[in-house]
Chain A
Amino acid sequence: MGEFSIGRKIASFGGMVAGLILLITGLGMAIGKTGNPFRGTAMIVGAVLFFIGLYLFPTLKHHRMIVNILFLFPLLFAFAVTVIIPLVLGIGYSFTNWDGIRVRGFVGLDNYTRMFKQPGFIWSILITFLFVVFNIILVNLVAFLLALLCTSKLKGLGFFRAAYFLPNLIGGIVLGYIWQFIFSNVITKFTTALFDQRYSMLSETKTAFVGIVIVYIWQYAGYIMLIYITGLNTIPGDVLEASSIDGASATQTLFSIKIPMIAPTITICTFLTLTSAFKQFDVNLALTNGTGSVADFMGNYLTNGTEMLALNIYTTAVINNEYALGEAKAVLFFIILAVVSIVQVRISNKREVEL
């Protein structure tokens, strides 16, 4: 300990002691509900002082470990408070009658059985799956075709790539309203001119669903295209050259060389489209807000024809104030998402090996 100056020792111990005192005082004020407005500041300043003291701690042997702790702390602390604690609490709350503020009692699996008695919720699950399947197929197909287009010799390629990618920069809320305008004010002009009838796609559940799919492809295909372009560019030029010398047609090259060689890219893109379509919320909210009538679903009349899972959870909790039920739905949503993604990755990996 001889190589450390006395000043550093004082600073270290002083900082740690002062920090701890402040921290404990702040905590005491908070627990004692004194209402002192400086309790939070005291705690934060105390923690910082303590860390400074810890950093200056006169040791060579453990300095590395101290730095490790200090470096990890900020991110881990935020992560624990915003993700881990709410996750654990949320799973716990889903077995109670939590109302968003306090828990009044334990209800077991009540919320989980109750949500399956709501035809609207089952409908949401079904159309979410339908939406995911549509999107995986269509977004990947469109994106792959655009990628083929954008890797061929074409003038102005840079412009086209940027243009196709552009919608991805804009948030779903703004996009949703822009497309609501297009569906209800622009396309209706065409239908009036062509069929003499003002027809908005958003007014009927089935076509409104198609509308959401269209907007989603419009927003997302450009991004997926960029990833396919990267994948296609990794195919070595001499392989393609060899196939063209051997007289392979463009279709043969596509199916026997290009597609098998970008199998890892296909896996990534499928995963991305799957998870993002599953979690779709913004466009759903802004475009239809989940509305749409369904005349008869399991003997019930529904008004949430285009409401997908994420939006259903939000409506249940925030709009209808059924927090515990919403949380239980969210936990189920999490489980479905986890299972589906794991299955998808497994299947893709297996197929990649076979190819």
Chain B
Amino acid sequence: MKTREKTSSRVIKMTIAIIVAAYVLFPFFLVVINSCKPTDKITENPIGVSGASFKQLYTNLVDVINNTHFLFWSAFEYSVIITLVSLVLLALFGAMAAWVICRNHTKWSAFIYFTFIASMIIPFQVVMLPLISTFRDVGKFIGIPMLQSVPGIIFAYLGFGGAMTVFILNGFIKGIPMDLEEAASIDGCSPEQTFFRIILPLLKPVITTVTILNGMWIWNDYLLPSMMLGQNGKVKTLPVAVQAFVGSYVKQWNLILAAALLAIVPIVILFFFAQKQIMEGMIEGAVKG
């Protein structure tokens, strides 16, 4: 009796799990299937596989990739460069700053730490408008454009990602025993050697966490790059390119969905290989953040 109850409840649970999974994955299925069709077939039947062919997928992808509003490879390259450089600099400068803040028990370090924490609640909307004018003015002042430029946007990500990065790293560094650093200093290590040779290697797991959190945010971010780079500039990230592409076309869904497919595929591939790290990183970031 009891075992039968268990089996039936297990069947119910499994059914629910499968239905939810089907619901969650259905939009992805639609994107894939409709990227393989010409427009008229989509209007005819958007759910079935009739009319879908690899040849049409190829045609759609070529159309999208070469589209002057989208320019997939250029946007992809810019997205990769901006994300990677921002992540490396955030991890390095973030760890340096967090270490100094954590190991100095002065008024100043407490003040800086508090400012970082408090700044995390500031919504981007409050700073975005003056940010653009500040960057425009600074760019004019120093003669190096800060808007519509890759270094400019990386600099902005450094500023916006700094608070959370320091916060999470700080929590981890606190747990590293001071004895380790004292021993290194007795052995003749200078502070910077202690940091680069002893502390930084120990930070590897937590740097993975912040890199995943920052990476997900920077890669998918739309508002900041759209404000800083503009819709029609030469430099575009993938989300900005998708928006510019869709905005410039009357609803040609086969092309729009092919563009969506191109935007989704890189991150899904990454997720496939680093699923555990990504999910754990996102959890840790939330629990500590």
Contacts and interface: CB of A to CB of B under 8 A. Distances in A.
A189 B46 contact: yes
Question: In this complex, which of A35, A163, A170 has the most chain B Cβ atoms within 10 angstroms of its Cβ?
Answer: A170
Interface residues on B, range: 35 or more
A255 interface: no
Interface string A16-33: 000000000010001000
Interface in A11-63: 26, 30, 35-41, 43-44, 63
Contacts of B239: 171, 173-174, 282
B188 to A, nearest CB: 12
Interface string A178-209: 11011001100100000000000000000000
Interface in A313-327: 313-314, 317-318, 323, 326-327
Given A63-B190, A166-B25, A174-B263, 4 more contacts: A43-B142, A79-B159, A79-B162, A82-B159
B144 A40 contact: yes
A341 interface: yes
B96 A330 contact: no
B21 A75 contact: no
Nearest to A34: B143
A314 to B, nearest CB: 7
Interface residues on A, range: 35 or more
30 contacts: A26-B142, A63-B191, A64-B191, A68-B104, A72-B101, A76-B97, A76-B112, A78-B159, A82-B155, A90-B127, A149-B17, A154-B13, A160-B21, A169-B271, A171-B220, A171-B238, A171-B263, A172-B222, A177-B242, A178-B27, A181-B46, A186-B47, A226-B279, A278-B123, A281-B223, A282-B222, A285-B222, A286-B246, A317-B129, A333-B126
A330 B124 CA distance: 9
User: Closest 7 A-B residue pairs measured CB to CB?
Assistant: A82-B159, A171-B220, A40-B142, A40-B144, A71-B96, A78-B158, A86-B130
Interface in B215-256: 216, 219-223, 227, 238-239, 242-243, 246, 253, 256
A79 B131 CA distance: 12
B25 A163 contact: yes
A182 B116 CA distance: 41
A190 B123 CA distance: 40
A144 interface: no
Contact of A160 (B17, B27, B123, B162): B17
Contacts, number: 264
A349 to B, nearest CB: 16
Contact of B160 (A83, A170, A227, A281): A83
Given A67-B191, A67-B192, A226-B279, A170 B10 contact: no
B182 to A, nearest CB: 13
A355 interface: no
Interface of B: 10, 13-14, 16-17, 20-21, 24-25, 27-28, 30-31, 34, 42-43, 45-47, 89, 93-94, 96-97, 99-101, 104, 112, 115-116, 119, 121-134, 138, 141-144, 155-156, 158-160, 162-163, 166, 190-192, 195, 216, 219-223, 227, 238-239, 242-243, 246, 253, 256-257, 260, 263-264, 267-268, 271, 275, 278-279, 282-283, 286-287
Contact of A75 (B121, B142, B158): B158
B130 A327 contact: yes
Contacts of A79: 116, 119, 158-159, 162-163
B156 A330 contact: no
A105 to B, nearest CB: 17
A299 interface: no
A230 interface: yes
Contacts of B159: 78-83
Nearest to B89: A74
Nearest to A41: B144
Interface of A: 26, 30, 35-41, 43-44, 63-64, 67-68, 71-72, 74-76, 78-87, 89-91, 93, 100-101, 146, 149-150, 152-156, 159-174, 177-179, 181-182, 185-186, 189, 218, 222-223, 226-227, 230, 268, 272, 275, 278-279, 281-282, 285-286, 310, 313-314, 317-318, 323, 326-327, 330-331, 333-334, 337-338, 341
A38 B42 CA distance: 55
A39 B141 CA distance: 9
A152 B268 CA distance: 27
B122 A334 contact: yes
Contacts of A44: 142
A149 B16 contact: yes
Contact of A279 (B124, B132, B220, B227): B124
B96 A72 contact: yes
